[in-house]
Amino acid sequence: MLDTFRTIETPEGAEIGLRVAGPLVRAGAWLVDFGIRMGIMMLLFPLLTCTLGEVGVGIGLVVMFFLYWFYPVVFEAAWNGQTPGKKFLKLAVVHDDGTPIGWGAALIRNLVRVVDILPGVYLVGLLTTFLNKDFKRMGDLAARTLVVYRRSERVRGQRVPEVTPRAPARPLSQAEQEAILAFAERRETWTDERAAELADTIYLLTGREGREGVTRLMGVANWVLGRR
């Protein structure tokens, strides 16, 4: 329970590392999102009621309903598993295998929140997070999702030139993935000869030498970043 780092093997045979988020930081993200939703309603509700009267009250209640139930669904499905609160605290929702979630998983995990919230203070959800090693609430168990820290490699990977992704010849450890990404990021700072020299040191991984080895290594870096 104290070690929140998880190593997951993908169907392609590569290993990825995920750092699972605990209840405290998740509660912080929820509070940020709650504040945003409350802010929207505090600004919108008086405006609707003043301008539209009873009709405005009805519209405001509908907006409140959608903000409560579908605000997290839309953001998580369309924004790489992140609501504004999760993004602020560098968290994201992913599938158990580390892949991004879609509309189905986002809908399930948030609709089951009606169970997590019982008996009114998220007691069921909180207790559930302490009963499994991945801090999953009922919604996560139903949707088979994890809340994890957004990996810094994803941010750094924006500096990796996009080339055709290539799966590695064997599973990669976390350290190997980081080394490959570091190579790809710094590739443009080296001469072709120096890049080939460095790529040759891991011939067993790429199966190529010289410039072909560099090309293959850049492809593996793009594969590690999920560009496939």
Least confident of 41-55, 130-144, 162-176: 162-176
**Which residues lie below 8 Å from residue 35, measured CB to CB, with a gap of 6+?**
none
Closest among 116, 109, 113 to 94, alpha carbons compared? 109
Other Cβ atoms within 10 Å of 57 Cβ, number:
13
Q: Which value, in Å, is the radius of gyration of the alpha carbons in the chain?
A: 22
**Hey, what are 39's tokens?**
């802010």
User: Does the CA dihedral 18-22-25-30 come out positive or negative?
Assistant: positive
Q: Record the pTM.
A: 0.63
Average pLDDT over the chain reads 85
Mean pLDDT computed over 51-79: 91
Identify the pLDDT of residue 196. Answer: 86
Q: What is the pLDDT of residues 121-165, one digit of tens each?
A: 889 999 999 898 899 999 999 999 999 998 644 444 557 888 888
Q: Where are the domains of the chain?
A: 5-150, 153-224
Q: What is the pLDDT of residues 186-207, one digit of tens each?
A: 888 778 888 888 888 877 777 7
Identify the pLDDT of residue 155. Answer: 45
pLDDT beyond 60 at 13: no
Interstrand relation of 5-9 and 91-95 (parallel, antiparallel or unpaired)? unpaired
Q: What is the pLDDT of residues 83-125, one digit of tens each?
A: 999 999 999 999 998 888 999 999 999 999 999 999 878 899 9
